[in-house]
Structure 1
């Protein structure tokens, strides 16, 4: 009788341990998904902000200049901006360039928008 009780206790403890492990794995997976979604939303927001500034500078015309800080590296192409894999479009004509994070100046030079670090 004593041996049977101890085996039941061991089986119960193992089942509780397995339940805890499964709950921990599920929680870890959900946290990983949330972190990925947060990164995507940050890139999307940054991309749209940059595209909006390029469009605004182009629409405002010659000698317009806007300065801001970017926390992400990005690429400017003809009609598009790419921030770490997330692309969005802008209105205007811009010089193609790769920009590293930091202080950014976007200016209109005779109808062409130039994006540069400063």
Structure 2
């Protein structure tokens, strides 16, 4: 079984030729388009955003599915960050300064 328990082990996995070939296979399968954007009627390709391969069932919890096509999908960086609640995708409780204004 694949060891991905440490940050170094995950780095080794994502740097491996096996992963790079699988990543290319998934990009080809998904026509270099973000699956979530496509479901919403938008087209986001490698020319619009960085495309990333998402593990539907997390790699850390399901290392046995690391290279299974059914567990992988193409997402743009924005959707991938949203999926993992990273960066600017955390819910903000701060009220915007001009929310009560309309012109």
Larger Rg belongs to? 1
Which structure is higher in strand share?
1
Which structure is higher in helix share?
1
Whether the TM-score (by the shorter chain) exceeds 0.5 is no
Normalised TM-score (structure 1):
0.23
Normalised TM-score (structure 2):
0.26
Q: Which has the higher contact order (CA 8 A, sep 6+)?
A: 2
